[in-house]
Amino acid sequence: KFLKEPIIRKYGEEFYEALDATAKHLEENG
């Protein structure tokens, strides 16, 4: 899992959501 607060603070909520979705996708398909 990523460090949610620092990522949102630096890149914004949408970036975190995209990152999280990508990670879930990779877990499912990896």
Q: Is 19 left (phi over 0), alpha (psi -120 to 50) or beta?
A: alpha
Cβ(16)–Cβ(2) below 8 Å: yes
Instruction: Give me the pLDDT at residue 30, please.
Output: 82
Note the pLDDT tens digit of each residue in 1-30.
678 999 999 999 999 999 999 999 999 998
Cβ(19)–Cβ(7) below 8 Å: yes
Cβ(20)–Cβ(2) below 8 Å: yes
What count of other Cβ atoms lies within 10 Å of the Cβ of residue 18? Answer: 12
Residue 11 to residue 23: CA distance in whole angstroms: 17
Instruction: Give me the pLDDT at residue 9, please.
Output: 97
Instruction: Give me the pLDDT at residue 29, please.
Output: 93
Residue ranges covered by each domain of the chain: 1-30
pTM: 0.69
